Structure 1
Amino acid sequence: MSNLRTTTRIFRKASAAFLTQGRQDNAPCWLCGQPIDYNAKPGTTPDSHNLDHYYPVSTNPELQHDPSNFRHAHKQCNEQRGNRRPHANLGQNPPAWW
């Protein structure tokens, strides 16, 4: 299976801007709704930031560089999702009061 992802200067710039905006907004994980650890280097811990694509690159490679397809996610939640559609209860459990 070939890797459809490409890393270009345009993508690196767009993803860096997306991460910066997420930090400023303290954006939660779009999959589980919990806070993301923006202090950790992206992609290094389960709770660190990981750029997710709403429409997976494996099925929609033309949307890889499209910022409207970007979502803020935990590394762990993004890995659990893979290229499947998101579903309820993916990622961490909600708070006890939920």
Structure 2
Amino acid sequence: MICSSCGAEFQAPPKAPKGGKPRSRCDACRSSRAWLDGTTYRNLREQVLREETGCHLCGQPVDKSIQDRADPRVGQVDHVVPVADRPDLANERSNLRLAHRLCNLRKGAGPARGTGRKPVPQRQQCPDCGSYCGPNLPGAMTHWCL
């Protein structure tokens, strides 16, 4: 196989770990922690916090006055393309975006899909029975009374 980080050819194990994906990086790139240059990342993190105002996953504004790092609404810097997949992009400004802590946790270590969370369907009161019904398909309603 060809390493996705350095382009070198390497011998991958015959099969992926149970439930995992096949290796895409050579042993040298897998053990390299060069992307952990703290000063560069801290500077980029501050730049993202200065420049961006909304969560790139849900589209809602991020309250930058929250200081409690455990608060699900606190702003975090998200690696759009996970560091595990592309360590060479770890300190690239174009790969860093602002996200709520909760949105970032929901996304996990995978790439962002679409706009993040799906919107919660709005429930409406059934005109026939007064119970609440939810959308089934676009333009159609599910009526619990039928």
Smaller-chain TM-score bracket: 0.7 to 0.9
Corresponding residue pairs, total: 92
2:73 corresponds to 1:73: no
CA contact (8 A) 1:76 1:91 kept: no
Flag the structure with more relative contact order, 1 or 2, with Cα contacts below 8 A and sequence separation at least 6.
1
Give ranges in structure 2 of 5+ residues lacking alignment. 1-30, 123-146
Instruction: Report the residue type matching 1:66 in the other structure.
Output: E
Residues 91 and 40 of structure 1: is their aligned pair in 2 closer, same or farther, counting only changes over 3 Å?
farther
Q: What is the TM-score of this pair, normalised by structure 1?
A: 0.75
Residues 41 and 91 of structure 1: is their aligned pair in 2 closer, same or farther, counting only changes over 3 Å?
farther
Larger C-alpha radius of gyration, 1 or 2? Answer: 2
Structure 1 vs Structure 2 CA RMSD: 2.8
2:74 corresponds to 1:48: yes
CA contact (8 A) 1:15 1:51 kept: yes
1:42 Cα offset (Å) = 7.0
| Bigger helix fraction | 1
Runs of 4+ in 1 over 2 A off after TM superposition: 41-44, 85-94
1:87 Cα offset (Å) = 3.0
Give ranges in structure 1 of 5+ residues lacking alignment. none
Instruction: Report the residue type matching 1:75 in the other structure.
Output: R
Single out whichever of 42-51 and 12-21 deviates more from structure 2.
Answer: 42-51
Q: What is the TM-score of this pair, normalised by structure 2?
A: 0.53
